[in-house]
Amino acid sequence: MSERKVLNKYYPPDFDPAKIPKLKLPKDRQYVVRLMAPFNMRCKTCGEYIYKGKKFNARKETVQNESYLGLPIFRFYIKCTRCLAEITFKTDPENTDYTMEHGATRNFQAEKLLEEEEKRLQKEREEEELNNPMKVFLSYPKNEDEEEPLALHPAWGGVGRLLSGSAASNIPTYPTQVLENRTKDSKLEMEVLENLQELKELNQRQANVDFEAMLKQYKELEEEQRRKEQEEDEQEMK
């Protein structure tokens, strides 16, 4: 009987590790991995819905001749839980997401569309701010002795002067579009804070309401109304 716990192995005296041939593995070899469905999908073969988070034993391989900024792209093979049809999807490092290849269709996801729309609006805003040719020079308010023309300063709402030459080169410049966007953001933030304050006040008023007293008063009114009806009925009977 051989040793159960093999701690030492026998190497013959003429053993040469350099003569061992190297194992050549194909570049597109596949591994069996355990993963969860990254998004909701529907099988094209049987129409079965596969929800996000469902676990699969998948085959994983590296996509050849395709990468993003040096990052490899991986392909995954899974099977439908109902008809066992093959479904494949790939990683999408550019958008930090996954892309469906074949075998199923990706279901509509409102959250994903909302995130994409927010990114698009943010990108358009940054491009608009960078491409705006209008510049505003920061300046201090002019003294009474100076005779230079004054200009309204949108950054801090005060009065300033436009400088030129070496004096203007030492002062930072800001596109007017940036100032407009900041003004809009501050205005929106103030509106949100006002709405929150109104909701807090409304909740406080509702919290101070004594519902038991209201029910008691309502019962008293009902009893009084019933008593009046009985008195009227008695008078009619007389």
- Binding-site annotation, residues for Zn(2+): 43, 46, 80, 83
Binding residues: 43, 46, 80, 83
* Phi, psi angle pair for 209, to nearest 5°: -75, 130
In angstroms, rounded to a whole number, what is the distance separating the alpha carbons of residues 67 and 90?
A: 11
Phi-psi region of 223 (alpha: psi -120 to 50; beta: other; left: phi over 0): alpha
**Cβ within 8 Å of residue 216, ≥6 positions away:** none
Query: HSE (CB half, 13 Å, CA atoms) of 95?
Result: 12
Give the single-character DSSP code of 237.
H
According to DSSP, the β-strands at 49-50 and 159-160 are: unpaired
